[in-house]
């Protein structure tokens, strides 16, 4: 168990974490990733196979940074929905959407990744970024993502992952385990939240196992792409 014992379950603990860091989440993502998070998101968008006027559901959308890039991809006549279970993150998401003047293009909803409030075969694509390791049930989340897309649609996940190269891996884990919690405490006043982050990545299955899970659920041509030496990975599967 990687969540604090004073919480009933992982979901409650994760909710408390993201509520506490929502105000500095975007800045810290950029700083802690050395500004690579923007590239990772754009790469994930490129793998959705979305076209102009397409429809997409971004679950666990957080502050809507990926949602905004998806909106740019499908254009003003596309349908873009961002869904998250944390109201504090959605407050920041609304600010980000407004600053990009996309209020008329993006619909933001509060909801749960394991029980999506949409009918089968609704969207062209579903996406999730930096959140699959935080959901209460990974398999159920991916099944829900598959359920709500149309046949031929894509499920795309962007997630932090496990580097493989020996020396790079050692340097990365030193930074991740030792420095990230300190920087998180300085930047957001929440060292605990950024102690959870390394633990959640270590506990999360290797990227090859997530690919296998995509296949088990029935997603075709499941494949993954390791980015920045395997620090982040994009998975894609087709319904």
> Domain segments of the chain: what residues?
10-160+204-238
Give the per-residue pLDDT at 39: 96
Q: How many CA atoms lie within 13 A of 214 on its CB side?
A: 24
Q: How many CA atoms lie within 13 A of 82 on its CB side?
A: 29
Q: Under CATH, which number does the domain 10-160+204-238 receive? A: 3.40.50.150
How far apart (Å, rounded) are the C-alpha atoms in residues 2 and 22? 20
Do residues 44 and 158 lie in contact, with contact meaning Cβ atoms separated by under 8 Å? yes
How far apart (Å, rounded) are the C-alpha atoms in residues 223 and 197? 25
Give the per-residue pLDDT at 1: 40
Q: Mean pLDDT of residues grouped by 10 in the chain (239 residues)? A: 54 74 72 84 97 97 97 97 96 97 97 97 98 95 98 97 81 69 53 67 92 98 96 97
């Amino acid at each position: 168990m990687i969540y604090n014992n004073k919480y009933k379950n992982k979901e409650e603990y994760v909710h408390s974490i993201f509520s506490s860091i929502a105000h500095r989440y975007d800045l810290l993502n950029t700083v802690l990733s050395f500004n690579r998070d923007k590239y990772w998101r754009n790469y994930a968008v490129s793998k959705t196979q979305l076209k102009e006027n397409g429809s997409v559901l971004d679950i666990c959308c957080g502050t809507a940074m990926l949602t905004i890039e998806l909106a740019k991809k499908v254009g003003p006549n596309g349908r873009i929905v961002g869904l998250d279970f944390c109201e504090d993150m959605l407050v920041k998401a609304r600010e980000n959407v407004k600053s990009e003047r996309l209020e008329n293009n993006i619909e933001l909803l509060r909801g749960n990744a394991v029980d999506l409030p949409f009918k089968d075969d609704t969207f062209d694509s579903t996406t999730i970024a930096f959140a699959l390791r935080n959901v209460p049930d990974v398999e159920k989340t991916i099944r829900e993502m598959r359920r709500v897309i149309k046949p031929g649609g894509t499920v795309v996940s962007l997630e932090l992952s496990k580097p493989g190269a020996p020396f790079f891996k050692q340097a990365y884990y030193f930074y991740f385990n030792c420095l990230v919690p300190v920087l998180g405490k300085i930047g957001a006043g929440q060292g605990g939240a950024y102690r959870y982050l390394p633990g959640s990545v270590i506990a999360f299955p290797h990227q090859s196992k997530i690919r296998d899970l995509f296949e088990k659920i029935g997603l075709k041509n499941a494949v993954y792409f390791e980015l920045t030496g395997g620090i982040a990975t994009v998975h894609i599967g087709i319904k």
